[in-house]
Amino acid sequence: MSDAASQRSKAREPQPAENDGFAVPRHVAIIMDGNGRWAAARGLPRVEGHRRGVEALRRTVRAAGELGISVLTIFSFSSENWSRPPSEIRDLMGLLQRFIRNDLAELHKNNVRVRVIGEREGLDREILLLLQEAEDVTRNNDGLTLVVAFNYGSRQEIAQAARRLAIEVAQGRLSVNEITPERLGQYFHAPDIPYPDVIVRTSGEQRLSNFLLWQAAYSELVFVPINWPDFDRAALEGVIKEYRRRERRFGGLAAKTGS
């Protein structure tokens, strides 16, 4: 791998940004969990939980930009979510469509760039066109990058990257000895986006659920007990405080203890 490629790879590893002299995570990724439990606790249909989840997303996107976060990735729909009841999938797709149609203009006005990661083959044409429109309209914005993980699964992403590397080897364009972690990462959905500093999961569950498994190698994991519809700026500030509290060693020694 060339020196330039190596430098690009290092730039993708988690790095702190600065906001008023304090370290803030450059990239926050969120598993938005607990919509259904939020609704069930209130005797409401699941779709109402998903609607309130969209409101929480709006709050979080706004707060992330104000707090100096550069990249916000949201796990909006996993490749495994297709196994949910058809009625719930229709509700989720409808909410996605309304979010893009209703919020795209505001996102663009606020200089937010939308990126989409995940498999697009086989998606409904209307959904596919909306996702493409969101990317196209905001392509030249240089504020907060909002990465929407839609029809996304990390194992599938890694397998797809491995297949592409295998093709390169089979066609003689790459030798087996040239396969490195950095090379594999170049075949992911968005190879230019820095890896997340923090991965957050709401609802109290403590697992990654096939989300950014490769990219999470040195991410801080923060599990918060509140359900996603209750997530707000204060909750995001709490995540940042927890991030600042942790000492990040990336496999090295602790600065104070040497352990």
Of 79-93, 100-114, 203-217, 235-249, minimum mean pLDDT range:
79-93
pLDDT at 259 over 50: no
Number of domains in the chain: 1
| Residue 21 binned pLDDT confidence (cut-offs 50, 70, 90) | very low
Q: Is the pLDDT of residue 80 over 50?
A: yes
Q: Is the pLDDT of residue 257 over 60?
A: no
Q: Is 0.95 topped by the overall pTM?
A: no
- Residue 181 burial (10 A CB sphere; 0-12, 13-18, 19+): exposed
CATH code of 72's domain: 3.40.1180.10
Q: When comparing pLDDT for 201 and 254, which is higher?
A: 201
41 within domain boundaries: yes
Model confidence over 148-205: pLDDT tens digits?
Answer: 999 999 999 999 999 999 999 999 999 999 999 999 999 999 999 999 999 999 999 9
Q: Which domain holds residue 223?
A: 16-153+196-243
Enclosing H/E stretch for 51:
helix 46-67
Residue 159 within a domain: no
Nearest to 68, CA basis, from 108, 23, 111:
23
pLDDT at res. 86: 86
pLDDT tens digits, 4-16: 445 555 556 666 5
Q: CA 196 to CA 185: how far, in whole Å?
A: 14
Question: Please, what's the b/e burial string for 69-82 (b: 16 or more CB within 10 A of its CB; e: otherwise)?
Answer: bbbbbbbbbbbebe
Evaluate whether residue 72 is within a structural domain. yes
Work out the average pLDDT over 33-45.
96
Q: Is the pLDDT of residue 244 over 60?
A: yes
- Is a pLDDT exceeding 60 seen at residue 251? no
- Read off the DSSP letter of residue 182: H
pLDDT at 90 over 90: no
Q: Is pLDDT larger for residue 258 or for residue 55?
A: 55
Does the residue 134 lie in any domain?
yes
By annotation, the residues acting in catalysis are: 33, 81
- What pLDDT, on a 0 to 100 scale, did the predictor assign at position 93? 85
Residue 27, in any domain of the structure: yes
- pLDDT band of 116, cuts 50, 70, 90: very high
Within the chain, strands assigned E span 16-19, 22-25, 27-31, 71-78, 113-117, 145-152, 198-201, 220-223
For residues 188 and 8, give the distance between their C-alpha atoms in angstroms, rounded to a whole number.
14
Number of other CB atoms surrounding residue 60 within 10 Å = 24
Compute the mean pLDDT over every residue in the chain, rounded to the nearest whole number.
Answer: 88
Instruction: Tell me whether residue 248 is in a domain.
Output: no
pLDDT at residue 12 in the model: 67
In a domain, residue 103? The reply is: yes
